[in-house]
Structure 1
C-alpha cells in the first residue's frame, strides 16, 4: 500500500514536471524560479521589497499565459515513417506541416507525443523506489523521449517538411499519439500549445551487434531435397544448364525460345541442392530471481545472430521460442525474409519458468532436420542441460550462449558441453557488443 502511494506521488510529480518543461521556455523557467524565491523572502512585506519582484514576475507570467489562449493555427500534419526502427539507433523521418490559413505561420516548434501512462511503471518487484529510477523506468516503458524541433516558416496554403530525429529506448511497438505545435509568446516566457491528433505505431527492432555466424556452423549436415521442400512454398528452383530434350522430360522445363532459335527441343536442367537448416533457440523462461536486463540481452543476442546468419547461409533459419505457445519462425533462401524473425523478436516477452518444457518438446521433434543450432539460454539447470544433451546425441552441432546478470559469480560447469568448452559461452548485458564481436571458436 505504501509503495502504491509512493508511485502515485511519483506520477503526479512527473506530470507536473513534464507540463512545466513543455510549456515554459528557459527564460520562463528562470522567471518561475525567481517568483518562488521572491515569494519566500517577500512574505514579510515590511522587512524587504522582494514581494514587489514576486508581483512583477507573476504579472509577466500571467500576461504570457493569457496570450496563449488565442493560439488557434489552422495546420495539419502528415508523417512519413520508415517501416522499422532499431533500439538505441537514431530514428529519422519527415513530418509534413501544411498551413490552411491565409497567414504565414512563424516561430513554430513541433514535438512528437508518445502514448504511455506513468502509472504503468508501478510494477517492478519493489526495486524501483527512488524517483530517478522510477522516471527512467517510465521513459523506457513509453519507449521514446522526442524533443521539440523548429518548424520553418509556413506560407499561406503551403507546406514545409520537418526532419524529426529521436532515439527509441526499447524494442516493440511505440505508439505515437500525435504532435504538439508550440509557439512562444512575444515575451519569450510561455509556449502556446495545440495538440494535433495523429495516431500511428512504429515497430522498433531489437538492438543488434555484428557477429560471425559462419565461425560457429561447424560441419553442417546438408539435407538433400531440402531446397525442393523450400521451393514448394516459394516456387524457387536451382538452374544448372541447357541440354537437348530426352523422352520423359517434363514439358514445363522446355526452353521454347531456345527451341525456336536452334530448331531442336531444348530443356532446362535443374539440380537438387542440399539444404542447410539452422536453428536459433531463444529461451524465454526467465528465472524469478533474474533481472529483466538478462532477458533483453538474450533477445539482442538472438537478433544479432538472426541478422548476421542469412547472408552466409544457403538454407533456412528457424527461430524457436515460447510465447503463449511454441512459435517457430523461418527465414532464409526460398523460405521468407529475415524481417519476420526480427519482428517476432521485437515483440517477444518473458514467460513463466514452467513453459520451458514446451520448448524442449518442440526441439526434440525437429532435431533430425537441423544442420546446427545456437541456443540462447537464460539459465543452466537440469532441463536446459537435458535439451543440449539431446541435441548433441542427435548429431547436431550446438553453440550454447548462457546469459547472466553480470554479477561476479563463478562460471557454471559446461555439463554436456564439457568436451567442447569453446562452444559454451557465458555472456552478460554489460559489454555485450564486444563479447559478441570477440566470439571465436
Structure 2
C-alpha cells in the first residue's frame, strides 16, 4: 500500500521502517506508536531525501528529545568551525540539529550536514531567503519565500520552522498589548517586518495550502513557529502569545487533514510558576500536538549562565508535557556559541530532558539512575564513568584530585559514607584515624 507521509501510513494501518526503528529505540509497542502517529500526538520527522537519518520520535510517551542550533553567520562565518561543532554534537548523540545559517554558502553547509547526519535536521527557511536571493527582505516575493522552503525540503531537511501564526490579526493584538521586548523571534521579526513593509498578509498563512503541498510531497514535518514567544519574563503568557497559539491550533488541524506532521514551538522566557499552565494550554489549544520549547528561560538576569536558567525551565516544561527541548548555551544573548559553549548547552539540556523523563515515567529512564546508584554503592569508579552523561568530565575530575585511598574521594577521604557503610554492614572496622585500611 502506498503512503505519502508517516502520518498517512499510520492512518492506513501501515507500520513503516521508521516506526519500527523508533519503537525499538523507545521500547514501545509498534501498534501503540502507530496509533499515536495517526492521532498527531507523535511525529517522526523523516524527509524522504534524508538518506543518512536514524529516525527519532517526538511526542507523547516517548523520551524527551533535544535540539542543537548551529550554523554560520555574517560575523562568524567559518564553515570549518561550524562543521566541527556538528561532528562533536553527533558524537554526543543529540537527536536533532537545526541549521540556522544566515550567511555565505548556506546550501553547501546544509547539504553536507544532511549527508553526514543520522540526527534529524531542521531549518528556518526565512533566514536563508535574504542571502539566497541577495535581495533586501522587503523585496522578496511570495513565490520566492515558497521556493526557498521547497529547496530546503528537496535537500532533505526533516522539519522546518514556519511562523504561519503571525497573521494580521495577531499583529493587531500585539500592537494593542505593549511588551518590554516586542518580538524576539528572529524569524518572527523578519516576517513581521516583511508584512509591515509590504502592507500584506503573512504569505505562509494566506497560502497555507501551498506550504502543505510541499510538506506532503517530501514528508517534511511542519514546526509551527512561535513568532510571539516571550523574550522576557514580563512578556510571558500575554495576549499575543496566546492569540498566536490559538491560530497555530487551527493550522494544526488543517495540516492533519493533509496528513502533514506538526510540532508546535513555544516559549521563550517565562517565570517558573507559569510553565506548567503553558504546557496545558498548548496541549489543549493545539490538540495534543508535540510541543517544542526554547528553554523556557526562568530569569532574565543571568547572561553567561543561560544554559542553567534554561535547564531549570526545560525540566519543569518537559515534566509537564513538553516533548522536545531546544538547547540554550552559556553564550545565549551574547555571541555565537563556541564549541565549549555548545557542549555545555547539550549537557544542560540532556540533564533537563532526563530529569523530566524520570518524572514522566518514560520506559528505562529511572533504570539508568538506579544503575549509577549501584555503582556508587559499590565504589565502582569505572562503572560510574561509563554510566555518566559526560564520562570525559567525570574521569577528568577524578584524575585531577586523587585520594589516598582508592575506595574514597578527596572530599570525604576515609569518612566516605559509602566506604564506611559497606565495611560496617560486612562486620568490619572502619578505621578512620589509623593508617591501615
Tell me the TM-score range normalised by the shorter chain: under 0.3
Q: Which has the higher helix share?
A: 2
TM-score by length of 2: 0.25
Q: Which has the higher strand share?
A: 1
TM-score by length of 1: 0.24
